[in-house]
Amino acid sequence: MPMPDAMPNDSVQTACDTLIAQARTGVLLTVRNGHPFGSHATYVLGEDWSRVYLHLSRLALHTQHLLEDPRVSLFIAEPDGPEKNPSSLQRLNLQGTAAVLPPTHDTYDKVKERYLTKFPRSHMMFGFGDFALWELQMQDAHLVLGFGQAYQSHSASPKDWHHQKPEKKT
């Protein structure tokens, strides 16, 4: 079966934006005892995928892991359904590091407002002392839009997608 041609960069970016908009939660992967640990998390993005913001409780295991090791991944996937092929679901995997976004940071109020707009029921949790906004500074993205449609991007140019082709065997 021949590999499909790469999609135009604008089409890849539009598909990425659509995926992010339709999936309100993702799987946050932290490091626990040297192994990946997955948690369900709500998120908002900055201007692009290179900045992701989470509102996390210090009591949660994933937050304790981040305090020990800031390496993180966020996995966002198209919702599954009985009419869909699970192997071809669109998905985005982001990798980077995490740090607390202090309330004194110049972007804090804007991020908090965006978070509350997307998740209004979380308003009460902003008053809890164990919760904090976290900024994930993502360096790499891997986007799968279907069979033969995998793309990679880097934070230096987050809207520049490169088609991932299998290496040819010689």
> Which pLDDT score, from 0 to 100, does residue 82 have?
93
Chain mean pLDDT for the chain: 93
pLDDT band for position 87 (cuts 50, 70, 90) = confident
- Indicate the pTM of the whole model: 0.91
Number of domains, the chain: 1
> Which pLDDT score, from 0 to 100, does residue 5 have?
82
101 token code pair: 């976004």
Q: Considering the domain boundaries, does residue 79 fall inside one? A: yes
> Which pLDDT score, from 0 to 100, does residue 165 have?
74
Q: 48's torsion region: left (phi>0), alpha (psi -120 to 50) or beta?
A: beta
Our measurement of the distance from residue 124's CA atom to the centroid of its chain's CA atoms, rounded to an integer in Å, reads 24
What is the domain range of residue 42? 9-155
DSSP 3-state assignment of 141?
Answer: strand
Half-sphere exposure at residue 42, Cβ-oriented, CA atoms within 13 angstroms: 15
Q: What is the CATH number of the domain that holds 70?
A: 2.30.110.10
Q: What is the pLDDT of residues 38-77, one digit of tens each?
A: 999 999 999 999 999 999 999 999 999 999 999 999 999 9
Q: Considering the domain boundaries, does residue 164 fall inside one? A: no
Q: Does residue 168 carry a pLDDT above 80?
A: no
H helix intervals, the chain: 9-22, 61-68, 108-118
Q: Considering the domain boundaries, does residue 87 fall inside one? A: yes
Strand partners, 137: 51, 97
Q: Considering the domain boundaries, does residue 163 fall inside one? A: no
Q: Considering the domain boundaries, does residue 165 fall inside one? A: no
